[in-house]
Amino acid sequence: MTLRKSANSLVVRLLVMGLAMAVVGTAASYIQLTRFLREDLTKSVATQQMALAAYVARDVDNYLDERLSFLERLAGALPPELLAQPEQLHAWLAERSALSALFPLGLVVTDVTGKRLDGLDSAVQLETGGPEFTAASAGKRAVGRPRSTASQHSALPMAAPIRNGAGQVVAVLLGTADLSADGLLDHLQEGRVGQAGGILVISPRDRIFVASTDVSMSLTPTPPNGVNPLHDRAMAGFRGSGTTRNAKGIEEISAIASVPNSGWFVVARLPVSEALAPVSRMQTFILQQRAPAVTAVLVVIGLIMAWLLRPLLRAADQADRMTRGELALTPLQVVRNDEIGHLTQAFNRLLAKLLDNQEALARLAHHDTLTGLPNRKLLDERLQQALVHARQRAQQVAVLYLDLDGFKDLNDTFGHEAGDKALGEIAHRLRALVRHTDTVARIGGDEFVLLATDFEEPAEQAALTLARQCIDAIAQPLQLEHSSMVIGVSIGIALGSGSETPQDLLATADKAMYRAKQGGRGSYAMM
């Protein structure tokens, strides 16, 4: 009788109804927020991975383009008569190798049948039957199949055609770059995202991993078809992002971007478990915070449920409108310091983290990660603006192309860590020389560019003065960990009046720099 009376009690019914409503409300919030966060985080991580893949792909492509362009210029500059003079040809190649460290593993000239024309056997045997040789024989510059050297470095052969006056291919210039010594593989280590994320550089033609954040995967075969569906699509030409399961059975969010100069592609990947870790923490937060609250307010939950849920509904509506683009991504208002307020604060922290990541990616796309200086992309934008400004005001701009002398010896002697420290110090010295309206950029390796405008004296005199200041500043001893070292710099100077393109002006300064290098260490030249 007492049990029946209790069951029919309005208080019990209200308590049961309130409990049911609380359970249903908690479950609905849990499911909705989980779905929202999973979808939003998946999209955000995919966007971040795509930006990272594109950035690394551009970096790799610039690396390849620099060396292929050098080979083309060298092939175009080779005197035709040397093809019949082995000793003079060998000396000519040795001289160019000494001027540029782009192909430390060797430069070789062969005829179109693969026969060496310099008459010597190189210490590094360059393959003349590879795809790069075949393409160069057909008149196109090309990248070959990466391979491992005896010193466990990653070697990359490249080739460019040598033409006669009639435009016919009469010989092939082959060079082998050292991916390990150039620091390209070390750069991939800096591209790691999270604890288990990483970068892959893949050659679909050769079906190998050219490079990887996981060094054990470098120069190993790619998985066979059917193991990783997204990888199979990428090998067939797909570029974009998606979720897949890799050869180890780990579910990942991956993004793929092309490297045009080689036909390779870059994959930026991050395990789903790590990417969506905030969802798990949010789920735990909801379960831990809501259960005690439901028990504490069970008696009155029916009366105050609408009041409790109003801020959550408002926050969900605002968040939903943010995802649709109707509202800007701004923190949600924290109405009360309860579970809903905690949830809103957690969402705001997550939103702030996402915005910070977007900001960091934007900076990463425009600045050099080692020195903090503008990179080539930002330099091109500022140079374009400066040329427009110069054309409008009938003024000139100066571009100083700096290439460090002796930097490779510093790296070989003291290691890459000391080299990175030296680059940071040199960047600091260069920043101290220029005005806030000028730009100092690092465009790769040990190469820097200074962009100066709005001169108070003749542009040519001002540029020469700035070049001498740069040479003096860089010539100061670099204080390394246990010793000091002095390096120099060769500077090429080009002046523009606004009618040039940024690429033309940089190319002119680059040529002037090579002329300066011929003048010896610590020289400058203007074109």
pLDDT on residue 208? 93
pLDDT on residue 515? 92
Indicate the DSSP class of residue 170.
E
pLDDT on residue 34? 73
pLDDT on residue 301? 58
pTM, 2 dp: 0.49
* 357-372 per-position pLDDT tens digit: 666 666 677 788 888 8
pLDDT on residue 22? 66
pLDDT on residue 258? 95
Tokens read off for 12: 């019990």
CA angle at 471 for the pair 467 and 475, rounded to the nearest 5°: 170
pLDDT on residue 123? 41
Distances from the Cα of 213 to the Cα of 56, 195, 200, angstroms: 12, 12, 7
User: Could you give phi then psi for residue 195, rounded to 5 degrees?
Assistant: -85, -35
Nearest of 447, 439, 441, 444 to residue 387 by alpha carbon: 439
pLDDT on residue 430? 93
pLDDT on residue 130? 82
Nearest of 517, 421, 429 to residue 101 by alpha carbon: 517
Tokens read off for 487: 């390096």
Q: Which residues in 129-282 belong to E strands, given as ranges?
A: 142-143, 147-148, 154-163, 169-178, 198-203, 208-212, 241-245, 251-259, 264-271
pLDDT on residue 360? 62
Q: Are 347 and 315 in contact (CB under 8 A)?
A: yes
pLDDT on residue 239? 92
Tokens read off for 3: 């049990």
Nearest of 205, 153, 145 to residue 174 by alpha carbon: 145
pLDDT on residue 142? 92
| CA–CA distance, 109 with 161 (Å, rounded to integer) | 10
- The residue ranges of the chain whose pLDDT is under 70 are 1-16, 18-19, 22, 30, 120-129, 184-194, 283, 286-287, 289-291, 293-294, 296-309, 339, 355-363
pLDDT on residue 6? 47
